[in-house]
Amino acid sequence: MARRIKKVILNYLFFDYDLQKAVTEPRVQITLHDTNVEDNFDRRVIDGLKLKSHNIHHNTSLSVVQAVVRQRDKLCAESDFRKGGYPAGY
């Protein structure tokens, strides 16, 4: 799970994605024997993984991420659509 959180952080901080895009980007999970991708994952990347003998499986529920960031004087939140939730303040 930590890898997916890192991916969201990298997307937001280093690739300049807005918070919503960073959280909702398609995900991949590579284990010892299998590679799980979401249905909307980049087809070119999937084809490249297959060329390297990856066993591709489509999995739409790899993980969920909730994110909160400070932007100047406010807090912004994004709730992963994969869990059907929404961000809420307290």
Q: Measure the CA–CA gap between 84 and 31, rounded to whole angstroms.
A: 26
Tens digit of each residue's pLDDT (9 = 90 or more) over 32-54: 888 999 888 999 999 999 999 99
pTM for this prediction: 0.74
* Domain over 2-63 is classified CATH 3.60.20.40: yes
pLDDT > 70? residue 71: yes
What would the DSSP string read from start to end of 3-67?
HHHHHHHHHHHTS---HHHHHHS--EEE-SS-EEE-TTS-HHHHHHHHHTT--EEE-S-S---EE
